[in-house]
Amino acid sequence: MTTLAEAFGTAKAEGRAALLGYLPAGFPTLTGGQDALAAMVAAGVDIVEVGLPYSDPLMDGPVIQRAVEMSLAGGTTTADVLATVKAAAASGAATVVMSYWNPVERYGVAAFADAVAAAGGAGVITPDLIPDEAQEWRAAADAAGIDPVFLVAPSSTPARIARVAGASRGFVYAASTMGVTGVRAAVGSGAADLVARVRAASDLPVAIGLGVSTRAQAAEVAAFADGVVVGSAFVARLLDAPDPDAGVAAVAALAGELAEGCRHRG
């Protein structure tokens, strides 16, 4: 298993930002999604985020919502999510699960942490769980040896940032704009300031998510962040593809472009 610390450490040693790529498990199909993730890793994605499809994805924009709906309609289960984690981890990338809290709680907090670890997962991102309510989850993650990752936003106060950074391991996920996920024409203007505020509170790597879709945007974010998170743009490439092979080729091409941006900061 490649850990988050190893993935970010390698990127730092090479003088670049790490590239994090997201897809919901089971999209466009179970094996199709696994093939797409493998292609993304081969093209330059350092850290894979495997989304656990959920029926009430409050933070997700229309592109990811559509993919999640397709995954759920196809019958994707938590076991399928874990199988996707195992496949992605086998590719050599550090692999994390992105999940809303309700599915984790329903599965069983300690059981979920143990299952992610057994599949080769390095951590779990819980976008709707705040550290104040995460004592049980943090204990389970510690026991399983995986990293709990929490989010900060432009509206986060210094005290909130310190609390989130103190509870996180692996990295801190910084949402560059307020609102749901989705491709944007420009990176949020407060993104660099948010990263600086997190760094004032923690030595953990900081990855910026929400909106990056082009090489130029990746380079812009890589100039001030340790990681560049891309989700909706990868999902859109698969949604727009005329067939599975074309979809895999499309996400691989995008991953290559974004990885190039991460290497050429600013």
| Segment 134-152 mean pLDDT | 98
pLDDT bucket at 81, cuts 50 / 70 / 90: very high
Contact criterion met (CB below 8 Å) for 149 and 116: no
- Select which of 6, 14, 35, 49 is catalytic: 49
Is residue 49 among the annotated active site residues? Answer: yes
What's the pLDDT score for residue 56?
84
Q: Which tokens sit at 157? A: 């106060």
Q: Domain total for the chain? A: 1
pTM, two decimal places: 0.94
State the chain's mean pLDDT as an integer.
93
Q: Which residue has the tokens 């993730």?
A: 37
pLDDT band, very low/low/confident/very high, at 182 (cuts 50, 70, 90):
very low
Helical H runs in 145-190?
Answer: 158-167
Mean pLDDT of 75-90: 98
Mind listing the pLDDT tens digit for each residue in 234-263? 999 999 999 999 999 999 999 999 999 999
Active site residue 60: yes
Residue 265: band (very low, low, confident or very high) from pLDDT cuts 50, 70, 90: low
- What percent of the chain clears pLDDT 90, i.e. is strictly above it? 88
| pLDDT value of residue 72 | 97
Contact criterion met (CB below 8 Å) for 16 and 265: yes
At residue 158 the predicted structure's pLDDT band, cuts being 50, 70 and 90, is very high
Q: For residue 178, what are the domain limits? A: 4-263
- Would you say residue 184 has pLDDT above 60? no
Percent share of the chain, pLDDT over 70: 94
Q: What are phi and psi of 175, to 5 degrees?
A: -80, 120
Does residue 188 surpass a pLDDT of 80?
Answer: no
Residue whose structure tokens are 């094996």: 31
CATH label of the domain that carries residue 212? 3.20.20.70
Residues 25-63 have pLDDT tens digits of 999 999 999 999 999 999 999 999 999 999 887 778 899
Predicted pLDDT at 209: 84
Q: Which of 6, 14, 56, 60 is catalytic?
A: 60
**Nearest by Cα to 172 from 192, 190, 147, 155:** 147
Question: Strand 151-152 to strand 172-175: parallel, antiparallel, or no bridges (unpaired)?
Answer: parallel
pLDDT band at 181 (very low <50, low <70, confident <90, very high): very low
Q: Per-residue confidence at 187, pLDDT binned at 50, 70, 90?
A: low
Give the SS3 label for residue 229.
strand
Q: CA–CA separation, 83 vs 63, rounded Å?
A: 24
Mean local confidence (pLDDT), 90-119: 97
Length of the chain: 266
Start-to-end Cα distance in the chain: 31
